[in-house]
């Protein structure tokens, strides 16, 4: 059994700030736990814009705080995301998130991330594995 709090991982290698400075992710469950998914609390900062494309992962996102506009960059379709709303990137959609306020979400990735990932120039997380 694993029991871990956000305060346990604050300031550790599981507490990841993006190179772009638009988000911070506290990675509670990673690939090394061997459970088939990773689980994160991520905050995207108000007034920023983050374009992403999870070409190698499926991600489910559940908003617990804040508001943001989510754009499907492939279709132009826009969605307003607020607390209690979930979105699932089940088709590897290219998308952009524009938080109106600090936007806090709980995220699940499959396959799980290792904790070392950051978005590349295309918004993609590389498919990394544990040794």
Tens-digit pLDDT profile for residues 89-104: 999 999 999 999 999 9
Arithmetic mean of pLDDT over the chain: 91
Is the CB of residue 97 less than 8 Å from the CB of residue 49? yes
Is the per-residue pLDDT at 119 higher than 90?
no
Query: Can you name the residues that pair with 79 across neighbouring β-strands?
Result: 70
Higher-scoring residue by pLDDT: 76, 131 = 76
pLDDT in tens, 41-90: 999 999 999 999 988 889 999 999 999 999 999 999 999 999 999 999 99
Sign of CA dihedral 43, 62, 126, 52: negative
Which residue bears the tokens 């979930």? 86
Beginning with the edge strand found earlier in the chain, give each strand of the sheet holding 15-17 in spatial order: 15-17, 23-29, 38-44, 103-110, 58-65, 86-89
Kindly state the percentage of the chain with pLDDT values over 90. Answer: 79
- Residue 126 confidence (pLDDT): 58
**Per-residue pLDDT at 124:** 61
* Residues ≥6 apart with Cβ < 8 Å to 63: 81, 82, 83, 84, 85, 86, 103, 104, 105
The residues pairing with 53 across neighbouring beta strands, listed in sequence order, are 94
State pTM to two decimals: 0.89
């Amino acid at each position: 059994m694993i029991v871990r709090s956000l305060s346990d991982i604050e300031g550790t290698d599981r507490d990841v700030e993006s190179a772009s400075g638009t988000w911070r992710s506290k990675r509670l469950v990673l690939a090394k736990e061997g459970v088939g998914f990773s689980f994160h609390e991520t905050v995207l900062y108000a007034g920023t814009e983050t374009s992403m494309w999870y070409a190698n992962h499926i991600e489910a996102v559940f908003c617990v705080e804040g508001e943001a506009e989510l754009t499907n960059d492939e279709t132009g379709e826009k969605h307003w995301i607020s607390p209690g709303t979930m979105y699932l990137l089940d088709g590897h959609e290219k998308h952009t998130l524009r938080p109106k306020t600090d936007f806090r979400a709980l995220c699940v990735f499959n396959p799980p991330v290792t904790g070392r990932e950051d978005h590349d120039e295309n918004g993609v997380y590389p498919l990394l594995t544990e040794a």
